[in-house]
Structure formats: C-alpha cells, structure tokens
Structure 1
Amino acid sequence: MQIEAGALLKNILYPSDLRKLKESDLEQVCKELRQFIIDVVSVNGGHFAASLGVVELTVALHYALNTPYDQVVFDVGHQAYGHKILTGRRDKFHTNRIFGGISGFPRRSESEYDAFGVGHSSTSISAALGMAVASAYKGETDRQHVAVIGDGAMTGGMAFEALNHAGIEKSNLLVILNDNCMSIDPNVGALKEYLTSITTSKSYNKFRDELIAVLAKISKNGPDAYGWAKKIEQSIKGTLLKNANLFESLNFRYFGPVDGHDVTKLVKTLNDLKYINGPKLLHVVTVKGKGYALAEKDQTKWHAPGMFDKITGEIKKTVYDKPQPPKYQDVFGHTLVELAEQNEKIMGVTPAMPTGSSMNIMMKAMPNRAFDVGIAEQHAVTFSAGLATQGLVPFCNIYSTFMQRAYDQVIHDVALQNLHVVFCLDRAGLVGADGPTHHGAYDIAYMRCVPNLTVAAPMNEEELRNLMYTAQLENKGPFVIRYPRGNGVMPDWKRPFKEIPIGKGRKLVDGEEVAILTIGHIGNEAAKAIVELNTEGIYPAHYDLRFVKPLDEELLHEVFGKFNKIITVEDGALPGGFGSAILEFMSDHNYKAEVVRLGIPDEIIEHGEQEELWRLCGYDFSSIIKVCQKLCKGQPTSAQVG
C-alpha cells in the first residue's frame, strides 16, 4: 500500500532537496515526516517509537550537514526510518522489512547515505571515529563525522572504549547523545542517574545556550582565542555543574542538554558546532514515540507494535478459533519463575532485553533475583560467572546474535572454569524481518567447539521446559539451550518436569531407506514433511538429537548401522554446525553414507518472514520433501552432500 506524503515531504527525495527549503519550513517538514512514519508503519509494521523520537534531529542533521559527504552513523538503526525516507527511499519505504524490500536498518549496500551498517548497539562512536581519523589522514579537514547514540546504547562497554580513544585523537567527531531514558525497555544503571542530574541543573541549562554560540564565534579566530574560551568554559562549568565531568574527563567538549524537538534550535546548534574542532558531545533530550500519544505513554509496547489502527491505537492481532501455542520466550519466562520457586539458587540475568526475552516475568515476581544489566553482553556473562562461583545458578538469557559479542567471556570466564551457568539463547536461527544483523545463525558452530559446554535445542515447548529443568540440577556445568523467535507447536505446553539425560536424543518415527536427523524446533518441519511423504509411499525415519554436544553416539550408531541415506536439518549455519558434527561422527567411526545437510548456507541471508527464509535456504518442509524424493529415487540433490 502506497502512502501519500505531505505537501513539502513529497518534494523531498534527497537531503539536497531539504536544504533548498527555508529554515521556517522545517517544523512543517517534521510534522509531515512524523505522520508519514505513522501512516506507513501502522499498515506495514516495524519499529516505531524510536524513529518518532528523532524526527527533528534527523531533519536538522540533513539540513545543517552536507550529507552524504558529511557522514552520520545511527547507532543500532531502530531510529533511522526518518533518515531512510529523506535519503531516496521514501517511495520504497512501504517495503521496509519485507522480503525483497529495503532493510529495517542502515546498510551501506543500500544507500551512500548509510555511512555504516548497524544492528547491534554501541558501535556508532567507534565507526564514526574510524571515519574521522581516515578523513584527517586524507586531508579532508572540512568533513563532518557524527555518531547518533542513545543513552541506552551508551551503557555498552564498546561505547566507552570508543570515547576513551576519541578523546586523544583530536579528530573532527561529534557524538550526539540521544537521551530519552529508553532503549527497548527503560534504561537502568548509574549512567541514567548521571544524565538525569545534568538535565535537571537549571543554572547550567541557562548557561549552555550562550556558551555554544560564544565558543563557535571565538573558535574561528585562532588557537589563542580558542584556548582562552576553553579555560573560561571549564571554570564556569565546574561552578555551575559539579558533576558534569564524565565526558570532559575524556577530553570531549560537552554541550547541552538541548531540546531534541526544537528543530530550529538543533539546526543552529549543529551549524555552530561545525566550527569547533576536536571531539564534541551534544546532549539532546528527546521523547521516544514523540507525536503519537500512546507511544509516548507506553514506549516499550510501541517499540515495534506490528500493524495497528493509527486512529484508535488498537494493535491488530490475528483472531484464532482455537488455542494457539505460546512464544518460546514466554515459555522460558514462566518456566524460569516456576523453577526459581523450587530452587532458591536460581537467578536471572539479561542484557537490556527483559521484555524481549520475557525475563520481565521473573523481574516482577522476584525483583531481587533477576537483573537487567544494561546493553552489556560481556558483563552479563562474567557477572553470571561470578554468581556461579558462589554456588548460585544463573540463567543468562541473551539473543543468539548478541551472544556473539560475549564469546570470549563464555570461553575464558565460564567454560575454562567449568562454572554452572545456564545460557538461554533466544532468537536462535533465522529471525525474520530484522534480517542479517539479528539472525542467530552461528551459535551451534561457535558453541559446540568449546570444551565443558553442553549444547541443546528443544523441538517444542515441553522439551524447553525439561531442558531448563535438567540444566539447573546440580553439577551440570555450563549449559547452552537455544530456541527460536516466535511460537512453538504445543497449546497444552505446561506439563510436569522431567529430567533429560545429557546427550540423549530420541527416535520419533521409525522408517526405511532414509533417516532425517534434526536439532531443535526445525524438526517440526521435518515431521510435517514425513506426513506428506508417507502419502507417496516414502517412509523416512526421524531422529530428534536434542543435543549437538555431546552427541548421542548410541543413537547415531543405530542410524548409520541401518541407513546409508541421511538428511540433517538445522536452523543454523552449515559450516561447523549440526550437520558437520554428524559428518565428523561418520568419519571418526568409518561409516559410509550419503549425507545431505540442510541449513543456512555460507552466505548472508536477507530479511523476510521466517518461513520465506527457510524456503530460500532450502530447509522448510517442502524442501525436505524434495530432497527425500530425490534421495529415494537415486537422483542427485542440490543440497550440500557429505
């Protein structure tokens, strides 16, 4: 559905068109841009509140700067919808996050205005600093480099590492701190309190408006005037705002806080800051969801609400005529509380994703036993390790794609010390519309090679509960449970706990000629395929391995002793993955069989619905059927063969 843009916005294809307008027109442009985002997202879905909060900032950046020569890096990218619309993608915006359409995040391959591809938080300052240093090296002294980072993303350790480095480089770098007290969930930690102390200092807020203009003018007149102005600035700031030293102690010039919804003031401020050399930080205060009352009121709910009625605010949900299976994340959240009620040693840990992971259920029920540590995956893992050294059993819940950031901690701080930490990897496998930055493609491969780890994946909700129950029992060591985004398959999922023997799989269906070996939820696609194949007189066996480490060798000896045609299916990367583990077993025990591996190929997979992506990669139920048919007929397959 094509949405019509407003009177001014419809004539803006690129920032060069925006810069032709009078400054007095910018407020109207902001109104039209905000409405366009509301109109399109309400009918197509996507991230919502974050982009509404930075409409004025986005317009001001593209108006005051000479983009794309001047480079703007948006941290994470949830807030980049306005940027996309103003940079040549307005008429494609209705395809946002849809298979074959534009990405929901900035991507260098999509537009020259997307200076850096982003999906994981806290990377913007490092990237922008690298660009700034490169420009200085090449003599591009007039080029501006801007990192737009939220106060939630600023809690990530990488952001502080970049600030520390930037302070000694003297590069032309502007960090814009978008302070709205929110990431996806409300921000936590000492930085939040520190920023609040800055925004509530009335004396300093009055002073800073005059300071920016004075410094901008003086800085044009030479190094002596610049040094004199800097001394005055530091002494006055020290008097008016005793706590305003965090960024300045890192050699950043701090300016703000500034009203992030006053587009005229933002343009003036950005124009002034262009003439101040060295690393600078502009503190901008915004409201996530600005301009849509419901999103302002409940910012977490409206982070990515899906499709909704823009008039009433009713979020559109599919109505079913029978009970539906729950989301895996909700099974995790409720099961964790149930286990914690039985085992006082259990603790919950998540890096800034309590709602997305459903850790918020335990945080509400047992606030002293569940922790949101901010956007800090490395810290989350080592913090969990510390808990484990004292005899507690932490359930550390991290999205698969974000666990990649803490891999060293998994090895060094948990596995080497054989600590009893339970890692629950949400969004494992292909996640859908969030695309390649969020696909949990690699965890099987990168976890199964680490000593001391147990790595498992449930095929359904009951199996998830039982794996969680098993993992928290005594002396289990590091335990990894991966499960996908979205719903399971069992409406009646809450069943009594049963311990699962470590490394034991199960034979679901006996068969002949060909065996299908699966790991995790994707096994349900194989089960559907087998039902269809049976109608054609083809009867594959189906084995759910449950564990990729340790493998069930007894079960595999049975498989290779009976079948010489085997299909492995996984919702994970093929190189080094589950299928590779089966090939290793086959080689180590001198078996010979035709093994076809189905999974995520060695390439970047785009965004789309999960079922579309499974089909694209060749491991949905229809693809499994085709491979089975070819194997049984002795025909060559296009899938990877061992």
Structure 2
Amino acid sequence: MNQHPDYLLNKIKSPADLKQLSLAQMQQLAEEIRTLIIEKDSVTGGHLGPDLGIVEATIAYHYVFNAPKDKIVWDVSHQTYPHKMLTGRAYAWLDPDRYGDVTPYSNPEESPYDYFAVGHTSTSISLATGMAKARDLMGGKENIMALIGDGSMTGGVAFEGLNNAAIEPHNLVVVVNDNQWSIDKNVGGLTVALKALRDSNGQAAANPFTAMGFDYRYVADGNDLEAMIEAFKGVKDVDHPILLHINTLKGKGYQPAIDDEEGHHWVMPFNLKDDSSKAPASKPSPASVAVKTVEEAIDQGNKRIMAINAAIPGVFGLDDMKVNYPAHYVDVGIAEQESVGFAAGFAKEGATPVLFENSTFLQRAFDQLSHDVAANNLPVVMVVAGGTISPNSKTHVGYFDQVMLSNLPNWTYLAPSSLAEVKAMLKWAIEQKQGPVAIKLPGGSVPEGDPENTLENYDEIKYQEVKHGEKTAILALGATLEKGIKAAEELGASLFNPISANILDTDCLDQLAKDYDLILTLEDNTLDGGFGQKIASYLADKPVLVKSFGLSRMYIDTDMSFAKILEDNHLNVDQIVADARELLD
C-alpha cells in the first residue's frame, strides 16, 4: 500500500515527468526522496548515507539530460536509490509491500536506464570511456557520463580510467562526487589534493585533473539543486572531456548519518524514533573472534603483525582496533588489489600481514593473489568474510572466492566450522611461514565449538571424524557442517570435517573409498572447480560413488528467495537425504 499518496513522486514515471516540475517542486521532490530512503532503510536495511547525499545531483542530472539516450554510469551504484525512483521504480520505496521488488544496485535487466550491473568501485570511468569510443565510432552524439565518488577514487582502476578518458576527443564527463568519505574516511594522497581544491573553491594550482588534460569545473555545494542544474547544463553536449568536481554532504537530511558517516554508510534495520538498531545484541562472531585473535597476538609480543583492510572496517568490527592498535592497522582505501600487493611487500620483509577481505570484492585482486603472493609463495594470511549462500545482488555474492583461491598454487584455503576453529586456524596461520593461507569465515549461525578438541596445527590437513556411521560418509566443509550433522543423523552416516577446501587428506579418502558405498560432499560455494569436484576427481578410479552438493555456476540476484536457492540446488537436508537414499538404492 502506498504510504505517501500525496507525494509528487507518485507522478514521476520517467525523467520526462520530472522536466515538467518547477525548481520549488523539485526541491520538494528531494525531500520526499530522502524521507522514503530513510523509511525504507529503517525497515529493510541498506545503503543510507551515500543515497541521502546524492539526491540533488540525481534530480539535476535527469532534469538536464535525456536518459536513456544520454547515459550515466554510476560507480559502486549503491547510491542509485534516487535514480531508481526517478526512472519508474519509485513503487519500491512508496509501497512497503514492494520493498523487495527492486535490486539495490544498478541492473540492466531491471531498467533501460541502468547500463551495467555494478556493485563495487572504480570502474565507471573505464566503462564510460569505452562507451564514448563506441559512440564516436558509430557516429552517435549522446552524452556519456561517469559518476564516481564515495571512496571510488581510491581504487587504482579509477586512475587507469582517468588516464584514457583525458585524451578522448569528444564528449565525456566525469563527475567526482566528493563527500570526503568512502565507507570509512577516505585515505591517501588524493584526499590531500581534493581538500586543496575544496578549500580554494576549485582554484588550487596543484590540480591533478587539469594536469592530466581535463577541462575542470567545480561546484562548491553539490546539494544545491539550482547550482547542480546549472553545472550540468554547462557540461551538456560539450565536445571534449570534462571533470566536474562536486562537494556533497554524505547523509544529508538525517543528522545521525552526518554525525556517524561510517556507521550509516550501510545500515541494518533501525528505529526511526531514536536511530537505535533493531538487530539483536551482538554475540561473538567469526569476525569478532578473528579480530580478537590478532589483537591477542599483538598483546603477546608479536610486533611484526599488521591488520590490513580495504575500507570495510565495519564488516569485521575493526573500528576499535584502528583506535587501540594504530601502529598495527592500515586502511588502503577501496582498493583490494592494493591491499594484497601491500601485504605481499609486507610479508617479503619478514613481517606478518593479516588481510581482512570481503569475498564479494576479492576478485578485483586476483592478479595480486596469483602473481604477487602465490608465485612468490609468501606467507600472507587472509581472513575472508562477506556472505555465502544469500539472495543478494548478483554483484554481492560470496561464493566464488573458494574456487578462485583454492585453484591457485601454494595457497591453503581453510574452512572453519566453529568459532574455536576460527581462532585456532588464525593463530596457526600467523605463526606458520610455509606459504599463503586464506581462512573463510563461516556464515549464518556459527557454533562456539570445543577448544580442547580443536586442532591447533594445520601443517598437514587431516580430516576429523565427527560422527561414525555406515554405508555413507559425509564431508561437510566449513559452514555446512551443521547441515551435515542433521543429514548424517537421518542417514546413519559417518560425518567428517575436512578442514580445507583444497588440500586433500588422501589417506582418509583412500580409506573412505574402501569402507563406504557413497561419499557426499557439502559446500556453500560454487560446485564447478570447488571442493566436491576435487574429491570426486581424486576418487574417480576408486570403487565408491561421490555426490557433491553446492551451488550451480550462476549469479544469484534479489529476485530469488533464500528458500528457492536452497531448493533449486538441493541443499535442504531432506533433499540431501532423499538424494543419498536414491543413490544407495
């Protein structure tokens, strides 16, 4: 049910409707959009600060330009809520019953106004430059724009994009949305240059953008709708590359988001009355255990350890560490490739880097994970979080890192199934020097485990028998161990914790092939190239049947429910049991 039937936004079905409004009406529209963002995020959670800060720039863009003929590429695209409201998708904010009908990131399958599925940072300039080159080759005249900011400029590919965009012969506009933040505070030398430009109203002599050849323009208040309209009119149809630098306020319109930018970049559901979280009180989690383990290592005298984070301290709860252990913490910005390269250099000098990475962003650093770390066999330690099986946006799924990492030489990929294993594996990884180690934090409800019965040494991978049974043996990796326990109970099967996704306990597997008719493997990652396929390949010439359960090689998007994902991939316990019984029969 539409909870705001009197809103102007109800009349905006496309940008053509927006163009009929007066300035005063568009200013009213901006307030409506902010109200709806806050209301919806309080119920569902989502990105808050970035979207509140980009409202005027979005309205001005769609008022001046002629989308979808004119094209804008939204970097990160977590600040596209206002854009979606103005391009026929306002129902997903006006109607609580339809809150889940629109994806949280740009999505070409959803709308002709979205040009790319974008979910992380720094790629917009490269994408827009390629679009501009194709337009010119085919004789087009439309405006091409990249909107980058909210930390995206700290990613290295942004500079690669600028390098090529600056020499484009025709229309290309790069908008730098400078809100002085990424998820956490912006870091690095570029922040110095941007501050100098802000402080001088865009007149600073040391201007990196003019030095590269851009026609540079500055808007001191990017939340002034009239100023943004004039700025966009000024760059429309200009036949050379322009960089438009706009100074905006992240969280504008919601004081708690201004007072605590990091905490309101992305929010869990909260109470509108007092901004308090609706989430239950926090308990020890895999991430908090990992951070505590690093802190304990420092307290116990390990002065060579460094926690390295790529602008996502909130994912791991690193905020206290950056305050209490500043000499042992570094944030490299939203630049995963830089974080891994930095860690490789740190390890080469004999120190111990502990990378805190999000699975869904880690693919950006594949080259560094392969060449800089694996090819040099450096003892880099990496803690990987960020979801497993979940109906998130296709750009924010967390089930590809296992295949990506475990098939590189020298890497050991460990998959803890309990909080006790998280701690034990990380303690071992910090001390060992035999090569790079990744530890995938389990998702969902994670048991504490028994420290006294948890392995402390992982120099050799030895599968642990959790339960003894007959006919069927289940190898349940990491977070799937709890599911394996239930399936083993119903089947009367043996259950093993395999510890690692890529280092096989061949002695154990040889024995299982002799003792059992069927081996089941469970994992919460993609099957192709994954743990189950490694087991099946090794046992291919043995007299035992292997059945692997995991995810199909596909992108899961928000139009799929969690229940549907499990059902389609036969990952419910009753399906696993039924499939096993059918195979045994």
- TM-score of the two chains, using structure 2 as the length reference: 0.94
Counterpart code for 2:196: S
- Matched-pair contact (CA < 8 Å) for 1:30–1:56: yes
Identity of aligned residues (%): 35
Q: Distance in 1 between matches of 2:277 and 2:150?
A: 28
| Residue 427 of structure 1: aligned partner | 386
| Residue 60 of structure 1: aligned partner | 60
| Residue 158 of structure 2: aligned partner | 159
Give matches, 1:551-570, under 5 Å. Answer: 551-570=504-523
* Equivalent residue in structure 2 for 1:260, among 222, 241, 246: 222
Q: Distance in 2 between matches of 1:596 and 1:435?
A: 29
| Residue 125 of structure 1: aligned partner | 125
Counterpart code for 2:247: V
* Structure 1 range deviating more: 606-615 or 37-46: 606-615
1:558 shift after superposition:
2.0
Residue 242 (structure 1) aligned with residue 202 (structure 2) = no
For residues 103-129 of structure 1, the C-alpha deviation after alignment (integer angstroms, 9 at most, x for no partner) is 111111110001221001111111111
Task: Specify whether residues 618 and 6 from structure 1 end up closer, same or farther in structure 2 by C-alpha distance, changes over 3 A only.
Answer: farther
1:491 shift after superposition:
8.8
* Equivalent residue in structure 1 for 2:278, among 316, 319, 337: 316
SS in 1 for 2:431: coil
Q: Distance in 2 between matches of 1:474 and 1:419?
A: 11
Q: Distance in 1 between matches of 2:152 and 2:230?
A: 26
Counterpart code for 2:368: Q
| Residue 7 of structure 2: aligned partner | 7
Task: Specify whether residues 504 and 579 from structure 1 end up closer, same or farther in structure 2 by C-alpha distance, changes over 3 A only.
Answer: same
1:64 shift after superposition:
0.7
For residues 490-521 of structure 1, the C-alpha deviation after alignment (integer angstroms, 9 at most, x for no partner) is 29989999334431221111111211112111
For residues 135-193 of structure 1, the C-alpha deviation after alignment (integer angstroms, 9 at most, x for no partner) is 1112112x111111115100100000000011112231111111111111111111112
SS in 1 for 2:343: helix
Task: Specify whether residues 600 and 435 from structure 1 end up closer, same or farther in structure 2 by C-alpha distance, changes over 3 A only.
Answer: same
1:37 shift after superposition:
1.4
- Matched-pair contact (CA < 8 Å) for 1:98–1:433: no
Q: Distance in 2 between matches of 1:263 and 1:501?
A: 61
Counterpart code for 2:485: A
SS in 2 for 1:481: strand
Residue 474 (structure 1) aligned with residue 425 (structure 2) = no
Residue 287 (structure 1) aligned with residue 239 (structure 2) = no
| Residue 42 of structure 2: aligned partner | 42
Residue 619 (structure 1) aligned with residue 575 (structure 2) = no
Q: Distance in 2 between matches of 1:496 and 1:513?
A: 27
- TM-score of the two chains, using structure 1 as the length reference: 0.86
Q: Distance in 2 between matches of 1:334 and 1:440?
A: 23
Q: Distance in 2 between matches of 1:610 and 1:554?
A: 37
- Matched-pair contact (CA < 8 Å) for 2:391–2:556: no
For residues 441-482 of structure 1, the C-alpha deviation after alignment (integer angstroms, 9 at most, x for no partner) is 222222222221111110111111111011112323111111
1:326 shift after superposition:
2.7
SS in 2 for 1:627: helix
For residues 313-339 of structure 1, the C-alpha deviation after alignment (integer angstroms, 9 at most, x for no partner) is 2221247xxxx7533222211121112
Q: Distance in 2 between matches of 1:526 and 1:51?
A: 41
Q: Distance in 2 between matches of 1:164 and 1:153?
A: 15
Task: Specify whether residues 304 and 97 from structure 1 end up closer, same or farther in structure 2 by C-alpha distance, changes over 3 A only.
Answer: farther
Counterpart code for 2:10: K
- Matched-pair contact (CA < 8 Å) for 2:394–2:556: yes
Aligned length: 583
| Residue 198 of structure 2: aligned partner | 199
SS in 1 for 2:394: coil
SS in 1 for 2:90: helix
Q: Distance in 2 between matches of 1:103 and 1:117?
A: 10
1:623 shift after superposition:
3.1
For residues 264-307 of structure 1, the C-alpha deviation after alignment (integer angstroms, 9 at most, x for no partner) is 11011101111432111111111111101111111111122222
Q: Distance in 1 between matches of 2:97 and 2:315?
A: 19
- Matched-pair contact (CA < 8 Å) for 2:251–2:258: yes
SS in 1 for 2:218: strand
Task: Specify whether residues 95 and 170 from structure 1 end up closer, same or farther in structure 2 by C-alpha distance, changes over 3 A only.
Answer: farther
The two structures, once aligned, show a CA RMSD in angstroms of 2.3
- Matched-pair contact (CA < 8 Å) for 2:471–2:517: yes
Q: Distance in 2 between matches of 1:411 and 1:558?
A: 33
SS in 1 for 2:145: strand
Residue 272 (structure 1) aligned with residue 231 (structure 2) = no
Task: Specify whether residues 306 and 133 from structure 1 end up closer, same or farther in structure 2 by C-alpha distance, changes over 3 A only.
Answer: same
Residue 573 (structure 1) aligned with residue 526 (structure 2) = yes
Q: Distance in 2 between matches of 1:94 and 1:9?
A: 9
SS in 2 for 1:549: coil
Give matches, 1:99-110, under 5 Å. Answer: 101-110=101-110
Counterpart code for 1:631: L
| Residue 504 of structure 1: aligned partner | 462
Question: Which contiguous aligned blocks of 4+ residues in structure 1 show a shift greater than 6 angstroms?
Answer: 94-100, 491-497
* Structure 1 range deviating more: 304-313 or 143-152: 304-313
1:577 shift after superposition:
0.3
For residues 7-46 of structure 1, the C-alpha deviation after alignment (integer angstroms, 9 at most, x for no partner) is 3111111111111212332111111111121222222222
| Residue 521 of structure 1: aligned partner | 479
Task: Specify whether residues 616 and 166 from structure 1 end up closer, same or farther in structure 2 by C-alpha distance, changes over 3 A only.
Answer: same
Task: Specify whether residues 433 and 619 from structure 1 end up closer, same or farther in structure 2 by C-alpha distance, changes over 3 A only.
Answer: closer
Residue 598 (structure 1) aligned with residue 556 (structure 2) = no
| Residue 356 of structure 1: aligned partner | 315
Residue 549 (structure 1) aligned with residue 502 (structure 2) = yes
- Matched-pair contact (CA < 8 Å) for 1:58–1:82: yes
Q: Distance in 1 between matches of 2:443 and 2:161?
A: 32
- Matched-pair contact (CA < 8 Å) for 2:397–2:555: no
1:351 shift after superposition:
1.2
- Matched-pair contact (CA < 8 Å) for 1:429–1:439: yes
- Matched-pair contact (CA < 8 Å) for 1:428–1:482: no
For structure 1, the 5+ residue unaligned runs are 209-239, 635-642
Q: Distance in 2 between matches of 1:161 and 1:118?
A: 18
Q: Distance in 1 between matches of 2:353 and 2:170?
A: 42
Q: Distance in 1 between matches of 2:95 and 2:422?
A: 35
SS in 2 for 1:34: helix
